[in-house]
Each structure stands twice: as structure tokens, then as C-alpha cells.
């Protein structure tokens, strides 16, 4: 088989679709794999929705990573506090220099972890505010792009209800 014939034009993200620009075709001559009732606007709207869902999934992944970091920091802080509590239960007269140094080191480690957790909480808050702004921009964009029939007043977007699930704020609530 000849090389030109073997190279197929693929749709989707595998390769760019190569358009033949040298041939004049009327709309009646165009053969498409799309349903004849689907319009370009419908396809663009669906692509926007898919992109939005992808963004929501990326946000959720980020949110889960923040929560995992928060859990790990809290576990480590708790472990260090217990260790410190044991040392603090020893009367000062009975503490060795090593015990006193260990106390100081534990306090420094706890302080460092608390600061790290504070930065984490700040990052979560910053992300939440940034995402809220992105959501506003996306809502305005979708209003301008989607057909009027899909923008009924009683129709609540399926993705806007998923933007800020209640568990997203766990890190913020636990920081106090």
C-alpha cells in the first residue's frame, strides 16, 4: 500500500484533523459523522460542558491533596504533642539536659508544623477565592455561548452545585 493511503485522518485528540482546502463543497455535499440534528453551537456547548467537568475534577483532586496534607500535618503535630506531654510530666528537678533539649526541639518542630499548616490553610482559601472568580467568568461565558433553550430560569447548572462540596472547608474549619 502506498504511504499516503495508509496515513489516516483521525478525529479527537490523537492527531489534528487535516482539512482539504482545495476542494469546493456546498453544505449539502458535506458528509459528517455528527448527527444531522446537531449544530456547531451544540457541539461547542457540549465541549464547554466537558471542559468544565474536567476543571471540576482537577479542583477536586487538588482539594483532596490539601486534605491529605492537612491530615498528615495534624497527625504529626498530635504525635509530637504527646511526646512533649510526656516530657512535661517529668518534674523540672528530675529532667536531664537531654530532656530539656528534647523539649525545646519538640516545641520548635511543633511550631514549624503549625506554621506549615497555616500556609496550607491560606493556600486553600486563596484557591477557593480564585475558583469563585473563575466560576463567575465561566458562568458569563456560558450564558453568552449556550443556546437560549438550555438557559431556562429554573434550570440549575449541574456543575455549579458541585463546585464547593461541604467537605472542602474541612481544612479551614480545623485550623481554628
Express each pLDDT in 80-138 by its tens digit: 999 999 999 999 899 999 999 999 999 999 999 999 999 999 999 999 999 899 889 87
Stretch 1-30: mean pLDDT, rounded? Answer: 50
- The pLDDT tens digits of the residues spanning 75-85 come to 999 999 999 99
Max distance between CA atoms of the chain, in angstroms, equals: 97
Stretch 44-70: mean pLDDT, rounded? Answer: 91
Answer with the residue of higher pLDDT: 26 or 155.
26
The answer to whether residues 66 and 171 touch, using CB atoms and an 8 Å cutoff, is yes
- The pLDDT tens digits of the residues spanning 132-153 come to 998 898 788 878 876 565 554 4
- The pLDDT tens digits of the residues spanning 26-36 come to 555 555 666 66
pLDDT at 35: 63
* Cα(139)–Cα(5) distance, integer angstroms: 45
Answer with the residue of higher pLDDT: 164 or 95.
95
In sequence order, the 6+-apart residues with CB closer than 8 A to the CB of 110 are 77, 80, 81, 84
| Burial class (CB within 10 angstroms; exposed 0-12, middle 13-18, buried 19+) of 84 | middle
pTM: 0.58
**Confidence label for 3 from pLDDT (cuts 50, 70 and 90):** very low
In sequence order, the 6+-apart residues with CB closer than 8 A to the CB of 134 are 55
The region, left, alpha or beta by phi > 0 then psi within -120 to 50, assigned to residue 51 is: alpha
**The 3-state secondary structure of the chain, one letter per residue:** CCHHHHCCCCCCCCCCCCCCCCCCCCHHHCCCCCCCCCCHHHHHHHHHHHHHHHHHHHHHHHHHHHHHHHHHHHHHHHHHHHHHHHHHCCCHHHCCHHHHHHHHHHHHHHHHHHHHHHHHHHHHHHHHHHHHHHHHHHHHHHHHHCCHHHCCCCCCCCCHHHCCCHHHHHHHHHCC
| Burial class (CB within 10 angstroms; exposed 0-12, middle 13-18, buried 19+) of 67 | middle
Amino acid at each position: 500500500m502506498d504511504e499516503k493511503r495508509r496515513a489516516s485522518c483521525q478525529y479527537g485528540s490523537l492527531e489534528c484533523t487535516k482539512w482539504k482546502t482545495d476542494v469546493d463543497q456546498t453544505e449539502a455535499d458535506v458528509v459528517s459523522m455528527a448527527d444531522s440534528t446537531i449544530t456547531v453551537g451544540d457541539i461547542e456547548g457540549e465541549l464547554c460542558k466537558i471542559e468544565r467537568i474536567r476543571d471540576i475534577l482537577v479542583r477536586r483532586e487538588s482539594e483532596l491533596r490539601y486534605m491529605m496534607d492537612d491530615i498528615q500535618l495534624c497527625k504529626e503535630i498530635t504525635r509530637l504533642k504527646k511526646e512533649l506531654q510526656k516530657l512535661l510530666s517529668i518534674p523540672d528537678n528530675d529532667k536531664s539536659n537531654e530532656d530539656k533539649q528534647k523539649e525545646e526541639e519538640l516545641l520548635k518542630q511543633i511550631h514549624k508544623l503549625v506554621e506549615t499548616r497555616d500556609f496550607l490553610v491560606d493556600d486553600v482559601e486563596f484557591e477557593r477565592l480564585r475558583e469563585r472568580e473563575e466560576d463567575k467568568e465561566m458562568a458569563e461565558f456560558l450564558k453568552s455561548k449556550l443556546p437560549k433553550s438550555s438557559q431556562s430560569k429554573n434550570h440549575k447548572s449541574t456543575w455549579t452545585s458541585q463546585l464547593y462540596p461541604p467537605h472542602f472547608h474541612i481544612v479551614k474549619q480545623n485550623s481554628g
